[in-house]
């Protein structure tokens, strides 16, 4: 795996280290030991698949309230997404800053999302899927979110947002929290 630091401390974009030959390629897609070598303690406790039927479908921006921990390792397995994280750690020097990256089945990138980061994604093409490895369990009653169009964050989405769940549209603006 090839690790690239993001501007947000503790978050990484992870590329496949493809070993190519006439058959195609082989690559390690996930490794706890390699994550540890980069200072990340992550043990997957759950795996989720997120399928977006239509281009322009947005999910997010989700995270969980303390004391619940929910780091994520996310890879696109079909189609493509613009994947965004927001640092929601109040004492962090990058608090409320965001970072976005294209994840696609073709480019093979993944993103490691630390705990206390809001996460969301926008389908860049029809019939796209993400595979989430979760480092914590979802706990009902601890869900938090940031609106995808919150001016305090200023995310610029690369294609128009056409489908958003009512719950995701209803998160309060940061200046109202």
Dihedral sign, CA of 174, 163, 133, 130? negative
* Tokens coding 149: 């169009």
Known active-site residue 62? yes
Considering the candidates 62, 98, 119, 148, report the single residue annotated as catalytic.
62
Known active-site residue 112? no
Beta strands in the chain (DSSP E): 2-5, 12-15, 19-21, 24-26, 46-52, 57-64, 72-78, 80-87, 98-104, 110-113, 117-123, 128-134, 143-145, 163-164
Considering the candidates 51, 95, 119, 132, report the single residue annotated as catalytic.
132
Integer Cα distance of 130 and 62 in angstroms: 15
Catalytic annotation, residues: 62, 132
């Amino acid at each position: 795996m090839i690790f690239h630091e993001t501007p947000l401390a503790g978050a990484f974009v992870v590329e496949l280290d493809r070993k190519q030959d006439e058959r195609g390629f082989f690559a390690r897609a996930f490794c706890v030991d390699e994550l540890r070598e980069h200072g990340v303690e992550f043990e997957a406790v759950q795996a989720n698949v997120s399928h977006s039927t239509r281009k322009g479908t947005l999910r997010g921006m989700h995270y969980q309230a303390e004391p619940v921990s929910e780091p994520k390792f996310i890879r696109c397995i079909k189609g493509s997404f613009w994947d965004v994280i927001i640092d929601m750690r109040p004492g962090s020097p990058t608090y409320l800053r965001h970072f976005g990256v294209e994840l696609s089945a073709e480019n093979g990138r993944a993103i490691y999302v630390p705990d206390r980061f809001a996460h969301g994604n926008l389908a860049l093409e029809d019939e796209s899927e993400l595979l989430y490895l979760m480092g914590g369990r979802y706990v009902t009653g601890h869900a938090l979110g940031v609106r995808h169009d919150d001016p305090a964050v200023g995310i610029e989405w690369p294609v128009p947002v056409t489908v958003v769940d009512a719950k995701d549209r209803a998160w309060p603006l940061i200046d109202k929290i």
